Amino acid sequence: MNISVIIPTYNRYKLLKRAIQSILLQTYLPKEIIVIDDGSTDATCNIQKDFPNIIYLYQKNRGVSAARNRGIEIAQSDWIAFLDSDDEFYPQKLQKQVDFHKENPDILMSYTQEQWVRNGVVVKIPKKYRKIGKDAFIENLSYCNIAPSSVMLHKSLLETVGLFDEHLEVCEDYDLWLRITCKHKIGLINEKLIRKYAGHDAQLGFRKNMDVYRIKALKKLLLTCKSEEKRLLIQNELAGKIVEQQKKGMKT
């Protein structure tokens, strides 16, 4: 299986080097590593000198969705893995997913458990973000509990459901995973195979009102989801989020 690993980045030169190194330490190496620099003003442009064999592209700042989509467009492999530039793969991450998909050829997307590290300390993952793997659509309907860095998928999925929505400032992963799981079964590798970091200076600011963007994603999903059962679940979730926003005096 040929895999392209796509890393979107913005002003994270030092962290980006750590992320790339974790890919190079994989027991199953990808065909290519694609770094999309989304308008960095630090030393990120030097990353090609540090790792001559990677593919590095610079674009004007357009957001993480546009960066990931650009990487998908130029990827030469049928399989795509994502890695945020402040995260790391465990050494067997790609191997475990390759083995899973060889054993389950009908499943075209997988994700993994993860470890969270904040300010250098391993922290407990909040209950709402824990992964069960029984029904990924239901598990992700309220909150996104699939980390982009844990995902590997077949490019054909994106041909049927579309790419990341570049109009969403955040929750673009929530939006895409729901579009996929509304139509397709996906698989959980129940092992911690990525490390997610928080608390560093280069971390993107946390949006306090993420539900505004989740509401936009759910409204879109209602227009494309064909399952009546799932449409009812979407409507119930959407109604609840709208009520909460109204209580806060927010427009939806």
pLDDT digits (tens, 9 = 90+) for 117-147: 999 999 999 888 889 888 999 999 999 999 9
Q: Per-residue pLDDT tens for 216-239?
A: 999 999 999 999 999 999 999 999
- The long-range contacts involving 40-43, CB below 8 angstroms and separated by at least 24 positions, are 40/9, 40/10, 40/11, 40/12, 40/13, 41/11, 42/11, 42/12, 42/13, 43/13
Q: Report percent pLDDT > 90 for the chain.
A: 88
Domain count of the fold of the chain: 2
Residues contacting 113, CB < 8 A, separation 6+: 131, 150, 188, 189, 190, 191, 192, 193
Cα separation, 92 vs 234, whole angstroms: 36
Alpha carbon distance 176, 208 (integer Å): 21
Where residue 161 sits, what CATH number does that domain have? 3.90.550.10
Are 48 and 66 contained in the same domain?
yes
What is the spatial distance between Cα 218 and Cα 221, in angstroms, rounded to a whole number?
Answer: 5
Q: Does this model's pTM top 0.85?
A: yes
Q: For residue 230, what are the domain limits? A: 207-252
Coil vs helix vs strand at 2: coil
Residues 115 and 237 in one domain: no
CA dihedral of 34, 196, 59, 221, whole degrees rounded to 10: 100
Rounded Cα–Cα distance for residues 31 and 4 (Å): 6
